[in-house]
Amino acid sequence: MHRRNRYNTPPNYKLVAKVSPELSLLLNDGQLDFTSNEAVRVLNRALLKADFNLNVDIPSVNLCPTIANRLDYLHLVEDLLDAASISYRTRPVSIYDMLHDNWTFIATEIDPASYESAHGNVATNGLNDQIQLFQIESQNAPLLSFVKETGCTAIVCNPPFYSSTKDICSRKAEKRSKSRTNLEYSASESIYPGGEVAFISRIIEESEQLREKITWYTSLVGLKDSIRPLQEKLELLVPRPTIKVMPSQIGKTKRWVLAWTFHNLRKRSHASVIELILPENITDPKEWLDQQFAKLGITALPDGHYQTSYCSWNRKFQRLQSKNVLPPEMPFQSKDTLSLEMQFQALVMGRTVEFRESEIHNREDLNSLVNHLRRKI
């Protein structure tokens, strides 16, 4: 599991059940029967409410998204880039885009019922400005046509793993012997002629045409045997893209994220991350952070970064401010010491806030800001 995944510490089901009467009825001495599809569905609805304040309908005929797995995928994409826009094939829950409130999404779906369900979930949670949904009319339509003109930073894809109903049955039988879970799938989200290799191969073929229009092409891979043929297909492209295979394991479930890019990406020397973990009594981490920034005169920029011209959390600055001495009126010595031009990102993921500096020389200043916020908790 990714180090930033909040579910590295398993949830306390009794606490989660406080926001879900449904879940409390299914608990047996604080434990849940994971062989029950309904129990898994109710648990994930409850986790979305308790940890992300999302009210989500998960249709009983569809795959129930396991929240920890989806978060792991997003964290791996975060490691590839500081994203501004993500595009991918959605599901009836529209789960990936709902879990990350610092990105904007373009999501597509071919199944009409799944599209309507995802549309309802987005509207119910007031995310229409963050998430655009498009319905693909034909299975043979280009998968990435919606970004042909505008491009995007990355695509996220959870492809159909299986090639046929027979393939599903044989793999389900194998899973039951190894796993305690028993999940249901609809045909449209689980079956594609040729399985996941054929589906991801279509994305590879389209990526050869789009190339730099998208910074990172990524897809979840469910079967280890699928990785090698997909890598070989990517290695045949000219010029050859940069290829990454990133493992993800939640409990006994192993997945891989296949990623490739046609961009010549230079390694960032300043890509350090400073983490701030907020306590449970802060019910809305984003609102709390915005309030703290407002008190410090830190402003939000249109591109999602934050900016400040003064070290306003410094005690010397605050002493002068308490005497109604404003920055332009501060003595030269103080102003010179306290002034700075700093831009940074603050990404809220659950109760964890990740701070990333835009310039390497701001690292010490950003660290002092985070320490100030820690003292405010």
| Domain residue extents for the chain | 6-261, 273-376
Question: DSSP letters of 221-258?
Answer: E--GGGHHHHHHHHHTSSSPPEEEEEEEEETTEEEEEE
pLDDT of residue 337: 52
Using CA atoms, how far residue 301 sits from 45, 141, 157, in Å, is 34, 37, 30
The more confidently predicted of residues 143 and 55 is 55
Q: What value does the mean pLDDT of the chain take?
A: 81
How far is it, in rounded angstroms, from Cα 217 to Cα 214?
7
How far is it, in rounded angstroms, from Cα 140 to Cα 2?
35
Q: Which residues pair with 310 in a beta bridge?
A: 339
The answer, yes or no, to whether residue 155 has pLDDT greater than 80, is yes
What percent of the chain clears pLDDT 90, i.e. is strictly above it?
Answer: 25
Q: How confident is the model at residue 334 (pLDDT cuts 50, 70, 90)?
A: very low
Distance between the two ends of the chain, CA-based, in angstroms?
27
pLDDT of residue 206: 93
How far is it, in rounded angstroms, from Cα 79 to Cα 300?
23
CATH number of 6-261: 3.40.50.150
The more confidently predicted of residues 109 and 230 is 230
Cα 279–Cα 284–Cα 285 angle in degrees, nearest 5: 60
- pTM for the full predicted model: 0.66
Instruction: For the domain made up of 273-376, give the CATH fold.
Output: TATA-Binding Protein (3.30.310)
With CA atoms as reference, report the closest residue to 159 among 113, 71, 220: 220
The answer, yes or no, to whether residue 15 has pLDDT greater than 80, is yes
3-state secondary structure of 340: strand
The answer, yes or no, to whether residue 292 has pLDDT greater than 80, is yes
Choose the weakest-confidence range: 277-286, 292-301, 354-363. Answer: 354-363
Q: Which secondary-structure segment (H or E) carries 109?
A: strand 104-109
3-state secondary structure of 74: helix
User: The tokens of 200 are what?
Assistant: 């991801």
The answer, yes or no, to whether residue 135 has pLDDT greater than 50, is yes
Q: How confident is the model at residue 88 (pLDDT cuts 50, 70, 90)?
A: very low
pLDDT of residue 293: 93
User: The tokens of 257 are what?
Assistant: 């994220």
pLDDT of residue 262: 92
The more confidently predicted of residues 97 and 43 is 43
How far is it, in rounded angstroms, from Cα 341 to Cα 319?
21
Question: Do the bridges between strand 242-250 and strand 214-221 make them parallel or antiparallel, or are there none, so unpaired?
Answer: unpaired
Q: Which residues pair with 353 in a beta bridge?
A: 276, 348
pLDDT of residue 85: 41
pLDDT of residue 164: 81
pLDDT of residue 353: 87
Query: Does 6-261 match 273-376 in CATH topology?
Result: no
The more confidently predicted of residues 290 and 82 is 290
The answer, yes or no, to whether residue 324 has pLDDT greater than 80, is no
With CA atoms as reference, report the closest residue to 277 among 367, 345, 362, 349: 349
How far is it, in rounded angstroms, from Cα 112 to Cα 135?
7
The more confidently predicted of residues 313 and 203 is 203
Q: What is the pLDDT of residues 208-218, one digit of tens each?
A: 999 988 889 99
Query: What backbone torsions phi and psi does residue 315 show, to the nearest 5 degrees?
Result: -60, -35
Q: Which secondary-structure segment (H or E) carries 274?
A: strand 273-277
Q: Tokens 């569809």 belong to which residue?
A: 62
Choose the weakest-confidence range: 9-18, 79-88, 122-131, 275-284. Answer: 79-88
DSSP 104: E
Q: Which residues pair with 247 in a beta bridge?
A: 256
* Whether the Cβ atoms of residue 303 and residue 310 lie closer than 8 Å to each other: no
With CA atoms as reference, report the closest residue to 344 among 330, 327, 331, 361: 361
DSSP 280: T
